[in-house]
């Protein structure tokens, strides 16, 4: 058969359709040959023939094998969660708390995290780890110590939680205890204790004040007694006579019932 005969047998009218189909296939291959990884994300590569791959894709445009590999986005930015917990203290008091945690997953282990935990690591790993950490630490302190040693308790829980989460490639950024809540019975006992302590402190201060005031009165009395003693030591008969003259009005008593006291008039004359 000649070349001319072959051309005549080709469906010339279908060539545009074939070209369009080839173009569509080429576009599909092109669009499935790359993936865009956003800021604060990492790409986990899943192959239909090999499952999760060791390769982790960084931010930006990344190429992949079309129709064979899929890219799963994993957020590696710092995330915040609040978890409510309940625990028992060393003295068997029930305590409720709210824990605020800032965390992020290890960017170098996102493929392992996805393979072992999936994307629901908060409910599967983080919340249970917070619950267990709070229970473990609270059991080592009394209810009153949870209040008076709050910073120490916080550091203990954070350390315990960090150790637990790092085993799952989750890293702790910040940890805070938002609130500690106790039973009404315990709260009433604490209030009564504080009231008693305040009353005892007031009584102690009143006693100190009374002691100081008594010491002041004793010191004043001693000072007055000493002053009187010094006055008595300095008084002589001459001084007493002068004081009597200062008080005499120049007249003798009209009724003399006894001997009139002798006054040396010469001593009264000016010199």
Here the tokens at position 137 are 């630490």
User: Which one has a higher pLDDT value, 253 or 69?
Assistant: 69
Q: Give the residue-averaged pLDDT of 88-107.
A: 92
pLDDT given at position 79: 93
pLDDT given at position 13: 53
pLDDT given at position 269: 46
Quickly state the pLDDT bin for 198 (edges 50, 70, 90). confident
pLDDT given at position 14: 62
271 pLDDT more than 90: no
pLDDT given at position 227: 74
139 pLDDT more than 80: yes
Mind spelling out the 3-state secondary structure of the chain? CCHHHHHHHCCHHHHHHHHHHHHHHHHHHHHCCEEEECCCEEEEEEECCCEEEEEEECCEEEECCCCCEEEEEEECCCEEEEEEEEEECCCCCEEEEEEEEEEEECHHHHHHHHHHCCCCHHHHHHHHHHHHHHHHHHCCCCHHHHHHCHHHHHHHHHHHHHHHHHCCCEEEEEEEEEEEEECHHHHHHHHHHHHHHHHHHHHHHHHHHHHHHHHHHHHHHHHHHHHHHHHHHHCCHHHHHHHHHHHCCCCCCCCCCCCCCCCCHHHCCCC
What is the rounded average pLDDT for all residues in the chain? 79
Here the tokens at position 220 are 């004043």
Quickly state the pLDDT bin for 10 (edges 50, 70, 90). very low
Quickly state the pLDDT bin for 249 (edges 50, 70, 90). low
pLDDT given at position 252: 54
C-alpha dist (Å) from residue 212 to 152, 199, 220, 225, 226: 41, 20, 12, 20, 21
pLDDT given at position 257: 52
């Amino acid at each position: 058969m000649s070349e001319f005969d072959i051309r005549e047998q080709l469906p010339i009218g279908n060539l545009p359709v074939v070209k369009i189909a080839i173009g569509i296939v080429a576009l599909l291959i092109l669009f499935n040959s790359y993936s865009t990884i956003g800021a604060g994300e990492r790409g986990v590569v899943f192959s239909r023939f090999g499952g999760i791959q060791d390769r982790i894709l960084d931010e930006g445009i990344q190429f992949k094998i079309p129709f064979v590999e899929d890219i799963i986005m994993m957020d590696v930015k710092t995330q915040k969660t609040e978890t409510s917990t309940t625990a028992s203290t060393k003295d068997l008091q029930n305590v409720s708390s709210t824990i605020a945690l800032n965390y992020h997953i290890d960017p170098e282990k996102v493929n392992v995290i996805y393979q072992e935990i999936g994307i629901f690591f908060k409910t599967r790993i983080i919340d249970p780890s917070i619950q267990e950490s709070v229970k473990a630490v609270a059991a080592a302190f009394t209810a009153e110590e949870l209040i008076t040693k709050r910073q120490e308790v916080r550091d203990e829980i954070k350390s315990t939680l960090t150790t637990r989460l790092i085993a799952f490639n989750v890293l702790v950024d910040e940890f805070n205890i938002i609130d500690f809540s106790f039973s009404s019975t315990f709260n009433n006992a604490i209030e009564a204790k504080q009231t008693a302590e305040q009353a005892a402190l007031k009584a102690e201060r009143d006693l100190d004040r009374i002691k100081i005031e008594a010491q002041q009165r004793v010191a004043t009395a001693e000072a007055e007694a000493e002053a009187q003693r010094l006055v008595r030591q300095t008084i002589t008969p001459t001084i007493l006579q002068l004081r009597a003259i200062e008080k005499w009005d120049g007249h003798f008593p009209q009724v003399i019932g006894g001997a009139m006291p002798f006054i040396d008039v010469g001593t009264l004359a000016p010199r």
